């Protein structure tokens, strides 16, 4: 989401502590003008220390104050909190309020079907196409060059960024953000062979996206064949993700870039998937973690962390990799001794 420039609204450290619920160490009257990264913070900024490997950098930072989960002995002004990321997010929004303010309007260079239903408090930008029987909710902003098919429903408080394509009969909930160049509802990759030639299987269902979902740029979510593809409430999907037909993503999933699903996978609540993971399995349980570059070929039970290709429990994969490295070192020593 776009952000405004800093409000340049001087705020005391005590006010920021109250805003975030953090414990204050240092001068409560210290004035803070903005938030910045450790390496480029100035004497009027607050910064954040996310993890122990940044603690050494903190001593070199020029920041006036620090958000951290453990006290830094070398600095005086600090906000101590068990969740520095949450505090950082709250302070960012304090100094940089969201810029996405809807100005109710329909641009004259948009193409709106006469049977489309647009809430009076929505904004439709230039060169956008909205087809028959599609509903657009209140406080929703459809940016330029967006194409929305027929019989779609887009809820309230949504942001659809430029060049997004939404096929027919897609349903999108409230508070959904879809970034540029993403495609929702394209045909699933369904074919069968007849006399050595591929024949298309019609994909007759669609895509349902629940409330509070955010989808990155250049992501494709295919429509279902006989059941809808679904993205659960609160899930966050990165750029360059391929979600195939009939996939069911549970609530509050987090899926990093370049993940690819084959059709029909069911993903449980709160699953986290690292980048460049390939998934070809029917079911992933709740609260699972799949490490980056894994290849998932079997079902995963609840609350497991897996890695490797083919993916296996993470500790087993670490032991397997350690064994391989040990075997290689023995082989190399033996070979070197024969020279």
Which DSSP string do the residues of 178-221 spell out, in sequence order? Answer: E-TT-EEEEPP--EEEETTEEEEPP----EEE-TT-EE-TT-EE
Out of 141, 143, 179, 245, the active site residue is 245
Instruction: Give the span between the Cα atoms of 104 and 140, in whole angstroms.
Output: 9
Query: Phi first, then psi: what are they for 91, rounded to 5°?
Result: -75, -35
Q: What value does the CA radius of gyration of the chain take, rounded to a whole number of Å?
A: 25
Q: Give the pair of three-digit tokens for residue 35.
A: 């938030």
Distances (CA, A) of 210 to 154, 157, 229: 10, 13, 11
- Tell me the two tokens of residue 318: 């670490």
Q: Which two tokens stand for residue 288?
A: 């699972």
Contact 149, 132 (CB under 8 A): no
Cβ count near 171 (within 10 Å): 18
The answer to whether residue 245 is catalytic is: yes
Q: How far apart are CA 80 and CA 175, in angstroms?
A: 31
The dihedrals phi and psi of 139, each to the nearest 5 degrees, come to 60, 25
In three-state secondary structure terms, 248 is: strand
The residues, ordered by sequence, that sit 6+ positions from 338 with a Cβ below 8 Å of its Cβ are none
Judge contact between 198 and 191, C-beta under 8 A: yes
- Report angle CA 332, 336, 337 to the nearest 5 degrees: 120
Residues with catalytic annotation?
245
């Amino acid at each position: 989401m776009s952000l405004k420039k800093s409000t340049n609204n001087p705020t005391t450290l005590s006010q920021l502590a109250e805003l975030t619920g953090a414990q204050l160490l240092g001068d409560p009257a210290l004035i803070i003008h903005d938030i910045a990264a450790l390496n480029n913070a100035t004497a009027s900024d607050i910064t954040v220390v996310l993890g122990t490997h940044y603690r050494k950098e903190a001593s070199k930072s020029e920041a006036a104050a620090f958000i951290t989960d453990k006290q830094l002995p070398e600095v005086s002004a600090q906000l101590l909190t068990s969740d520095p990321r949450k505090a950082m997010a709250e302070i960012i929004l304090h100094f940089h309020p969201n810029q996405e303010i809807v100005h109710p309007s329909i641009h004259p260079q948009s193409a709106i079907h006469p049977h489309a239903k647009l809430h009076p408090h929505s904004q439709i930008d230039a060169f956008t196409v909205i087809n028959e029987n599609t509903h657009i909710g209140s406080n929703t902003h459809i940016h330029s060059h967006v194409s929305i098919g027929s019989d779609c429903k887009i809820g309230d408080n949504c942001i659809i960024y430029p060049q997004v394509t939404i096929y027919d009969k897609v349903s999108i909930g409230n508070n959904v953000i879809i970034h540029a160049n993403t495609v929702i509802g394209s045909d699933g990759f369904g074919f069968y062979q007849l006399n050595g030639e591929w024949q298309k299987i019609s994909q007759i269902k669609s895509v349902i996206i629940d409330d509070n979902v955010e989808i990155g740029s250049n992501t494709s979510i295919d429509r279902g064949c006989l059941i809808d593809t679904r993205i659960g409430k609160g899930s966050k999907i990165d750029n360059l993700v391929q979600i195939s037909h009939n996939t069911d993503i549970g609530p509050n999933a987090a899926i990093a870039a370049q993940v690819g699903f084959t059709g029909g996978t069911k993903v449980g609540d709160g699953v986290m998937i690292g980048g460049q993971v390939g998934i070809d399995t029917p079911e992933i349980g709740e609260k699972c973690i799949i490490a980056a570059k894994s290849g998932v070929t079997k079902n995963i039970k609840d609350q497991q962390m897996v890695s490797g290709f083919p993916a296996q429990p993470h500790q087993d994969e670490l032991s397997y990799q350690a064994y391989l490295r040990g075997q290689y070192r023995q082989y190399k020593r033996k070979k070197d001794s024969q020279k």
